Structures are given as structure tokens and as C-alpha cells.
Amino acid sequence: MLYWWSKFVLLGPLLRLYCRPTIEGVEHIPADGGAIFASNHLAVADSFFLPLQVPRRITFLAKREYFTAPGVVGWLKKVFFTGVGQVPVDRSGGSAAQAAMDTAIRLLNEGKLLGIYPEGTRSPDGRLYKGKTGVARMALEAGVPVIPVAMIGTDRVNPIGSRMWRPHRVHVKIGEPLDFSRYEGMAGDRFIERSMTDEIMYSLMEMSGQTYVDLYAASVKEKAEKAKNTEKAARLPSAAQAREAS
């Protein structure tokens, strides 16, 4: 109930007025049945504007931490994310990753639309990064189509590191469903799953106009963070220098 209340009464009208979002390709959205919406990921705002523009309810897999924060604020976050269609999953790896996969497949088998960001994290610089193969495994296990989605303009509304959103036009492009039924029964074949994922990312590149980078966004972010920490450490005076100065 809160999902539709937020969409049509609480957040929806405000976001429409603030950013005047538009959508094309609505005809590619199946009227019923499970399907995966595979989208590029420019900003947190993606998870607000995509459900706003799509007539069917979309469910996203979200970090468990969004639902487990302590106190009143934590409770409010849990209520909010649950209400807008987020499902908590543990992303710490190993058995947790399989549990997340099982949750996704269950939702798809229930006929739901599942929102996925194949890059695994937000783009650090607006470019499109290498997709993770989990989206392919989900599609094969559940036997559902993958619908590519390009979010355009959300990085201008919600730049990385910004606390306040800014008014800017947002456009959502829904592509033709990608049918991978030719690979039925091949879930677990890493070459097949890599090929499928690359096909999805190529569609996103064409639709979004982003420059493609054949690296994982998470690795790029980690490398940048290490470089930042190294530079910061180099600027700090050593203990000996500090003693001499004193």
C-alpha cells in the first residue's frame, strides 16, 4: 500500500514537479509475469524515478543495512524502503550471495518485476562499467526476459556526494526485451552467463550513450580510494618530523 501511496500521493507528485521525468518504450513492459529490469546506475535517484515512471510495481534488492539501522531513524528507514518496494538481502558474499540469488528467483517466479543494476554499484564518473553475471544467472534460473533500461539525467539531479537534489530533467528509456531462452538449461556456465551479461551491457551502452569501460566499477572505486588514502598519508608528517618540529 505504501508503495502506491508514495508513488501517487507522497513522493510522486513532488518528483514530477521537480524534475519533469519522461519515459519512452512503455510498450516493452510486459503486462504480467516476471521480468528483470536491468538498468545503468548513475545515482540513488535511479531507484526513485524508475518505479515512478513504470506502471507496474518494481521490486529492488537492497542492502540489508538499510533495514537494520538502530533507533527511530532506523525504523523509519525500514518502513520507507519496505514501502517503496525494496527487499533486504545480505551482500557480504558466500552463502549470502546465494541467498540473494534465491530471493531474486523467488520474486521472479512469483511474477514480479525485479530491478537490477548489473554494474553492482553506482558509476563513479558517469561512464558505464562491466556488468556482473548475476543478472544472467537470475534470467536463466527463472526463465524470464531481461529488459534493458537507461536512466538519463539522474546524475544531474543527485550528483555523487550531494546531500540535496537539484532540479533537472530525467528521462527513462525502456528497451526491447532480451530473450535468452536459447540458453535454457545452461545456468552455471560462466561463458554463457558472461556472453549474456555483455549483451545486456551493450544494449545499455547504445541506449544511454555512455562510454563503456571494461572494468568493474567497484574495483575502480576501491583503487581510487586506496590512492586517496595513500596521498593523504604522504601528506602527514612522520613522527620524527613532528618531534623535530616541536
Quote the DSSP letter at residue 176.
P
Do 57 and 51 meet the contact criterion of CB atoms below 8 Å apart?
yes
76: CB partners within 8 A, 6+ apart = none
For residue 96, pLDDT over 70 is answered with no
Please give the Cα distance from 61 to 34 (Å, whole number). 15
| 83 pLDDT more than 70 | no
pLDDT for position 174: 98
| DSSP conformational letter for 15 | H
For residue 44, CA distances in Å to 58, 110, 130, 160, 197 come to 15, 26, 19, 9, 22
Burial 73-101 (b: 16+ CB within 10 A, else e): eeeebbebbbebbbbbbeeeeeeeeeebb
pLDDT, residue 60, reads: 87
Lowest-pLDDT range, 48-52, 175-179, 222-226, 242-246? 242-246
Q: What is the DSSP string of 185-235?
A: T-TT-HHHHHHHHHHHHHHHHHHH-PPEESS-HHHHHHHHHHHHHHHHHHH
Could you report the per-residue pLDDT of 168-179, keeping only the tens digit for each? 999 999 999 999
Mean pLDDT along residues 50-64: 87
Cα–Cα distance, 37 to 95 (Å, whole number): 24
Percentage of the chain modeled with pLDDT above 70 = 86
Domain ranges of the chain: 2-215, 217-246
Average pLDDT over residues 193-202: 98
* pTM reported for the whole predicted model: 0.86
Confidence of residue 1 (pLDDT cuts 50, 70, 90): low
Supply the pLDDT for residue 246.
Answer: 54
Residue 66 has pLDDT above 80, yes or no: no
Give the per-residue pLDDT at 242: 55
For residue 52, is it left (φ>0), alpha (ψ between -120 and 50) or beta? alpha
CA atoms of 50 and 29, how far apart (whole Å) = 12
Confidence band for 71, pLDDT divided at 50, 70 and 90:
confident
Q: Is the pLDDT of residue 241 over 70?
A: no
User: What pLDDT shows up at residue 5?
Assistant: 66
Concatenated DSSP letters of 78-135: HHHHHHTTEEEE--SSTHHHHHHHHHHHHHHHTT-EEEE-TTSS--SSS-EEPPPTHH
What is the distance, to the nearest Å, from the Cα of residue 52 to the centroid of all Cα atoms in its chain?
15
Q: Which of 8-22, 163-177, 213-227 is least confident?
A: 8-22
Q: Which residue has the higher pLDDT, 78 or 142?
A: 142
The top-level CATH class assigned to 2-215 is alpha beta
pLDDT tens sequence across 125-150: 999 999 999 999 999 999 999 999 99
Q: Nine-digit cell at 145?
A: 526476459
Tell me how far apart the alpha carbons of residues 154 and 147 are, in angstroms, rounded to a whole number. 19
Q: DSSP class of residue 39?
A: E
pLDDT above 80 for 110: yes
